[in-house]
Amino acid sequence: MKVELRKHISEILLSLQIPISFEVYNCNNEVLPKWTEQLQLTHEFLVCCEKTAEIKKLQSFLGKPIFEIENHIYWFDGNRTVAIGLAEIEILPERTEKKIDCLKTRTALPAWLDDFIFDHLNAEYAPDFKTFGYNLDSTKEDNLKYLGTYFPRSYAESFCIFDNIFQNMNYQNTLSENKSLNILSVGCGTGGDLIGLLTIVEKYCHNVSEIKIWAIDGNEEALEIFENIIRQFRFQTSKIIELHVIKNIFPSILDVDLQQIKEYTFDFILSFKMICEIILSGAGSNDNSYFDFVMKFTPLLSSKGLCLLLDVTTKAEHNNSFNPILMNWQVNQALLKLEIFQTLLPLPCNFYEQVCMEQCFTQQKFQVSHKQKTNDISKVCYRVIGRVEFINRLVSRRKNVKYILQTDKQNMTTAFCPHSIGEIIMDGYKLIN
Ligand SMILES: C[S@@+](CC[C@H](N)C(=O)[O-])C[C@H]1O[C@@H](n2cnc3c(N)ncnc32)[C@H](O)[C@@H]1O
Tens of pLDDT along 32-66? 888 777 676 777 889 998 888 888 778 767 766 77
- Average pLDDT of the residues in 178-191: 98
Query: 241 exposed, middle or buried (CB, 10 Å; 0-12, 13-18, 19+)?
Result: middle
- Please work out, in degrees rounded to the nearest 5, the angle formed at the alpha carbon of residue 161 by the alpha carbons of 367 and 108: 35
Instruction: Spell out the domain ranges in the chain.
Output: 2-80, 105-396
pLDDT of residue 189: 98
Q: Which atom of ligand 1 is nearest to the CA of 157?
A: 8
pLDDT of residue 19: 86
pLDDT of residue 84: 47
pLDDT of residue 227: 98
Helix 55-62 to helix 2-15 angle (10° resolution) is 130
Contact 383, 52 (CB under 8 A): no
- Per-residue pLDDT of 152-181, as tens digits, reads 999 999 999 999 999 999 999 999 889 999
pLDDT of residue 86: 54
One DSSP character per residue, 395-431 reads ----SSEEEEEEEETTTTEEEE-TT--SSEEEETT--
- Average pLDDT of the residues in 391-396: 94
Q: Of the segments 230-239, 319-328, 353-362, 393-402, which one has the largest average pLDDT value?
A: 230-239
Q: Which of 136, 224, 227, 311 to mutate to test the pocket of ligand 1 (most atoms within 8 A of CB)?
A: 136
pLDDT of residue 88: 52
| Residue 397: band (very low, low, confident or very high) from pLDDT cuts 50, 70, 90 | confident
pLDDT of residue 136: 93
- Per-residue pLDDT of 197-236, as tens digits, reads 999 999 999 999 999 999 999 999 999 999 999 999 999 9
Q: Which atom of ligand 1 is nearest to the CA of 222?
A: 27
Compute the distance from residue 34 Cα to the ligand 1 centre, in Å: 47
Contact 379, 364 (CB under 8 A): yes
Compute the distance from residue 325 Cα to the ligand 1 centre, in Å: 21
pLDDT of residue 38: 66
- The residue that leads in pLDDT, 44 or 363, is 363
User: Is residue 85 over pLDDT 50?
Assistant: no
Query: Quick one: which H or E segment has residue 217?
Result: strand 210-217
Class of domain 105-396: alpha beta
Contact 431, 99 (CB under 8 A): no
pLDDT of residue 87: 46
Q: Which of 277, 292, 323, 376 to mutate to test the pocket of ligand 1 (most atoms within 8 A of CB)?
A: 277
Contact 118, 178 (CB under 8 A): no
User: Is residue 114 over pLDDT 50?
Assistant: yes
- Please work out, in degrees rounded to the nearest 5, the angle formed at the alpha carbon of residue 221 by the alpha carbons of 216 and 227: 60
Q: Report the share of the chain in percent with pLDDT over 90.
A: 67
Q: Report the share of the chain in percent with pLDDT over 70.
A: 94
Compute the distance from residue 314 Cα to the ligand 1 centre, in Å: 16
Q: How far apart are CA 147 and CA 119, in angstroms?
A: 12
Ligand 1 pocket residues where CB is under 6 Å: 135-136, 150-151, 154, 187-190, 192-193, 217-219, 222, 249-250, 272-274, 277-278
Q: Tell me how far apart the terminal alpha carbons of the chain are, to the nearest angstrom.
A: 49
Q: Which atom of ligand 1 is nearest to the CA of 192?
A: 9
| Residue 385: band (very low, low, confident or very high) from pLDDT cuts 50, 70, 90 | very high
pTM metric for this prediction: 0.82
Compute the distance from residue 116 Cα to the ligand 1 centre, in Å: 22
pLDDT of residue 50: 85
| Residue 402: band (very low, low, confident or very high) from pLDDT cuts 50, 70, 90 | very high
pLDDT of residue 369: 97
Compute the distance from residue 260 Cα to the ligand 1 centre, in Å: 19
One DSSP character per residue, 264-278 reads --EEEEEEES-HHHH
Buried b (16+ CB within 10 A) or exposed e, 246-260: beeebeebeebeeee
pLDDT of residue 366: 96
- Average pLDDT of the residues in 64-89: 69
Compute the distance from residue 244 Cα to the ligand 1 centre, in Å: 17
Q: How far apart are CA 197 and CA 21, in angstroms?
A: 51
